[in-house]
Structure 1
Amino acid sequence: MSTTNDPDGTIPVTTAKEWAANWRDYLKTANPDFITRSFVIPIVDFKNILLYNPDAEAVKAFIGLEFAGDALSAKLMLVPVNGGEEVLYKHLTDEKVGNPPSNVYDLTTACPPTCGPGTGESLDA
């Protein structure tokens, strides 16, 4: 979902904000349809977070909904934190003028409903 300037695994910041808003709206009217118990996170997300944010002190995880009101479209978005601040955009000195590349990562899949081999519900749940 990233653009050509964004690292693999990132999503546009506007998409991340929309998904987080969808999640907050969902929680206001939540019902037991939310069945996701875990998220599968590809290693490329972690590798690129460390590559592009070597001084990050933490990673903040946000839950979002790709589609408003659809609990089965749950997403987990990862945002590096540096100096106590979320680093939403990747800042490089060689970037072209224009929109800076996203630094919000999401290649995650919710489990359930999407659980690949070896990624099913576990952690003794």
Structure 2
Amino acid sequence: MKKKNTITLQTAKKWAENWRNLESSYNKYHECRAFNIPKIDLQEVLAEDGVVSVRAYLGVKETVNPKTKDITYEEKLMIVGVDKNNKDMISAIKQNELGAGGDDIYDMTQPCPDFCDPNSPLNG
């Protein structure tokens, strides 16, 4: 079964690096308040053999418009399974392949805003 919403380790590393490099000034200009997490992502990561918990990493996807060259940013929440030894369970680490397909890193791609509950007291 092909997993939904997984990304490569190479992509995850880039997004996490973007977050660390941009975070000090990034939050001054962006309003990310929360993430809407697809149920299938949680089900799939929890169903992996050996998972005892999950770890979430923050990232920023940078996209360049090919026509205008404008850069847009989208906040990302990436979730990986964690084993009983508190180690991230990322298949690419075992295979030593950064660019391989689905690496058991789940891309939570629905930041708030825009995927918000406008009536939630937490969204005030």
What's the TM-score bracket when you normalise by the shorter of the two chains?
0.7 to 0.9
Unmatched runs of 5 consecutive residues or more in structure 1: 91-98
Q: How does the TM-score come out when normalised to structure 2? A: 0.73
Partner residue in 2 for 1:94: none
Instruction: Give the number of the structure whose residues are more often helix, by fraction.
Output: 2
Which blocks of at least 5 consecutive residues in structure 2 are unaligned?
64-70, 93-99
Residue 120 of structure 2 is matched in structure 1 by: 122
- CA deviation map 1:64-121 (0-9, x unaligned): 00117x784100000111021011127xxxxxxxx57411001431111x226xx347
Change (3 A) 1:35 1:104: same
CA RMSD in angstroms, aligned pairs only:
2.7
Distance in 1 (alpha carbons) for counterparts of 2:108 and 2:26: 25
Which segments of structure 1 move beyond 6 Å, counting only runs of 4 or more?
A: none
Aligned to 2:111: 110
Structure 1 counterpart of 2:36, from 40, 56, 81: 40
Higher strand content, 1 or 2: 2
1:36–1:111: 8 Å Cα contact kept in structure 2? yes
How do 1:1-125 residues align onto structure 2 when only pairs under 5 Å count? 6-51=2-47, 53-67=48-62, 72-82=73-83, 83-89=85-91, 99=100, 101-112=102-113, 114-115=114-115, 119-120=117-118, 122-124=120-122, 125=124
Contact 1:10 1:107 in 2 (8 A): no
SS in 2 for 1:106: strand
Cα distance in 1 between the residues matched to 2:59 and 2:4: 19
Q: Give identity over the alignment, percent.
A: 29
How many residue pairs align between the two structures?
A: 109
